Structure 1
Amino acid sequence: MRILITGSQGQVGSLLEKKLRDECELLAVGREKLDISDRNSVIEIVTNFKPDYIINAAAYTAVDKAESEEALAFAINSDGPSFLAEAANRIGAVILHISTDYVFDGNDESIYTENMSVGPQGIYGKSKLAGEKAIAEKTDKYIILRTAWVFGECGHNFVKTMLRIVKERDSIAVVGDQYGGPTYAGDIADTLIKMVESIASGKHSRWGIYHYTGMPYVSWYEFAEAIFSQALEHTLIKKVPSLSSIPSSAYPTPAKRPKNSRLDCTKIKEQFDIEPSDWKLALKEISNYK
């Protein structure tokens, strides 16, 4: 089996490379080796390597900066997936692509299923949705995996931010009216691998969009509480800071965040027998996220 991983230096891509390096014929590339927004480079690498599966873990994820870097966000999040899907279709490969809860407006009170109406509020979400649509237009054999609130050993994420801030402040205010499912990057990597294995074994024939996040759903404030609790238990901090819950309105950002990022993971359980990410279990390894 040949697998091409893009975004190999990111939160999910780095763990995919680690988990797959001895399991298949693997080509893992970061941006220095492949700029996915360069169509000619994408076609050349895919045509030469001829992967059976392309896992696109590359993305522009600077949510706030995207508001002033629209062209770059769309180049990476829309054009890139489009070129990868086109290349995959040329050689008959399957493409698996990571997307986001930001494709929804976050205003619905119910948990979001895959077939609910999308309505991104900012450039980041719009660029990711454009990438989803481009993949569906360019190939039939695709899996789009929407996830949210990703954290892990690599890259920038909320867990690392909290562990850094607690060293600088005795009191911390965290938004308490935005809800979602924290998702461990290693579990996303495992999920993508399981999906590849299922497809390769012939057990799967249903392409399309799937949701995968952690459970239980919490607010950012509740997630911060859990982070500091584990940090104290692992002696990463000497005491838990004074933590207060604030509304989104008290923490304005260039890009508006969805208040409801809760994604329904029923479909992926039914089709692939994959359970939601156990983020509380993943947090027990908090020493790795420093």
Structure 2
Amino acid sequence: MALHRPTKLMVCLLATTALLLAGGAAGKGGPPAGPPLRRARGGVLPPLPPAGVETITTLQSDPSPAMKLTYQVTKTKNMKFQQSLYRMLASSGREVENVPELAPQTGDKKQPPLWILITIEGKTPKEAVVLAVRTDNVYIVGFKNAAGVWYAFPKYKDLIKGSTPLPKAQDYGSLVGGHEKLKDLDSDSDAVAQDVRFLSTFTPPPRPNPTYEATLGTSLARLCLVVAEAARFNTINATVVAAMDEKGPSRITLQQTKLIVVWGVTSKALLDWKKEQVWQPERKADVEKAGIHGAQDAVSALKVILMPIGYKREAEED
């Protein structure tokens, strides 16, 4: 009987059968076999991650649920951006003398009722940063750089899954040495664009770097000023809009910085005034130093009202 030389097809079939038999035998005592891997044409199969190890796409995620807003520093009018942000924040349907109340606060360690993810673009689309802003107090919790990496203030890092804690705390003392120092920061489009460029490529230094960390603090403080504080106070909003859109004076005054530290007590005093028709703010001396001497001054100063945690209006009293 003549012997035939085995063809390539026969060799492949025999090899495949042997692999299947070996896999079946191993499967009796081990985990079930996974789906076959496909080799890319001309490529090499990538190594699989160890079992139970999350990949970068599952380690990090944008906070949700969220509304989204984009602001192009060199193209969009700041007034238009501020109006869009105001509408998002003023959606509770409650107000005092036409000043809208924010959503009730849930607490620093809890997710807000809703997030606002603000994409700020600098001079090019590649120079962009995403701010995670709470709707219940307008706090900026953290930011995402152009590489898609989330960074958060240490106090809030658990609110953004997989975020890296920043080497700066969320207070102005840590960022720039105190809220009074905000008067030394320019709020024009060039300064904001520089901050966006820096933050879009931000990576924590491998060792302490005071100069780099100072730039980080200034950049974050300025964004807090032109986004959060401008959303909270009418006079600061007017200064920022004029600086960004009309090349007006780009710095807030010392008097305006004093408003920042009495937002909470002024908001509560205004809510109490609506309920009881009596103006009795806590920390009255500080409130008056900020130029607020009564309910009408508060109405003029505040763009939105911060709701104290657990605050009950008259109709909600037990």
TM-score (norm 2): 0.27
Mark the structure with the bigger radius of gyration.
Answer: 2
Higher relative contact order (CA 8 A, sep 6+): 1
TM-score (norm 1): 0.28
Between Structure 1 and Structure 2, the one with more strand by share is 1
